[in-house]
Amino acid sequence: MNITYYGHSCFGIKTDQANLLFDPFISPNKLAEKVDINTIEADFILVSHGHEDHVADLIEIGKRTNAKVISNFEIATWAAGKGLADGHPMNHGGNWKFDFGNVKYVNAVHSSVLPDGTYGGNPGGFVVKADGLSFYYAGDTALTYDMKLLGDYDKIDFAFLPIGDNFTMDINDALIAADFIKCDKIIGMHYDTFGFIEIDKAKAKSLFAEKGKELILIEINESITI
């Protein structure tokens, strides 16, 4: 899989079958000012919750690419009302097999309201199986004991976890989460965008390395292959 980081919690993932885009918040993010959202490809846009820093570019990118929105019922319905009618609503615990692979909508502990004040339903994360790999995109969440179930159910090859603290888990809780999901390869997200969530990146990587785990912090607009 090819993974491109667009800042904050937004990633593009290219599988053998499709281009996946997660939580598109790019154009309002000063750290991502060199990213041209008109060049981003998306066949599916997966949205963890309704906060503006996760959906700011959802409608514009969705309309340009004709992407299918995968999210909870409330957000998929809201997006349909904004012109993205080809959505797929889900809810906690549900699975669906798409052309590119399987998606499970899992629990997250956070809040959710859309930018116009519309109720955004309960926040969530995703476990995606594609190209022979399984990965967990946690969305915005506190550390939760439910994460242990993910490690018991599936072999997770890599995971996207928030590490910025204040609004989500911090780096120490992310380490515990990595143990819960039995995954040693973690891609960090939801850090440095705002003053509240600035981190010491070298220290964060060191803490993971001390526990025999890898914390990957991708530069904005750069890609890695897993």
Mean pLDDT of the region 141-152: 96
Average pLDDT, the chain: 97
With a pLDDT cut of 70, the percent of the chain lying above it is 100
Mean pLDDT of the region 130-142: 98
Mean pLDDT of the region 76-93: 96
- 176-208 in b/e burial notation, b at 16+ Cβ within 10 A? ebbebbebbbbbbbbbbbbeebebeeeebbebb
Mean pLDDT of the region 159-164: 98
Q: What is the pLDDT of residue 139?
A: 98
With a pLDDT cut of 90, the percent of the chain lying above it is 99
CATH of 2-225, one of 3.30.420.40, 3.60.15.10, 3.30.300.180, 1.10.10.10: 3.60.15.10
Q: Extract the tokens encoding 155.
A: 């072999």
Q: What is the pLDDT of residue 89?
A: 98
Instruction: Assign 154 a pLDDT band (cuts: 50, 70, 90).
Output: confident
Helix (H) or strand (E) holding 94: none
Greatest distance between any 2 Cα atoms in the chain: 48
Q: How far apart are CA 193 and CA 52, in angstroms?
A: 13
Mean pLDDT of the region 171-176: 98
Tell me which of 49 and 154 has the higher pLDDT.
Answer: 49
Cα–Cα distances (Å) from 5 to 90, 153, 220, in that order, read 25, 28, 5
- Is residue 111's pLDDT more than 90? yes
Q: What is the pLDDT of residue 105?
A: 98
Q: Are strands 223-225 and 95-98 parallel, antiparallel or unpaired?
A: unpaired
Mean pLDDT of the region 207-212: 97
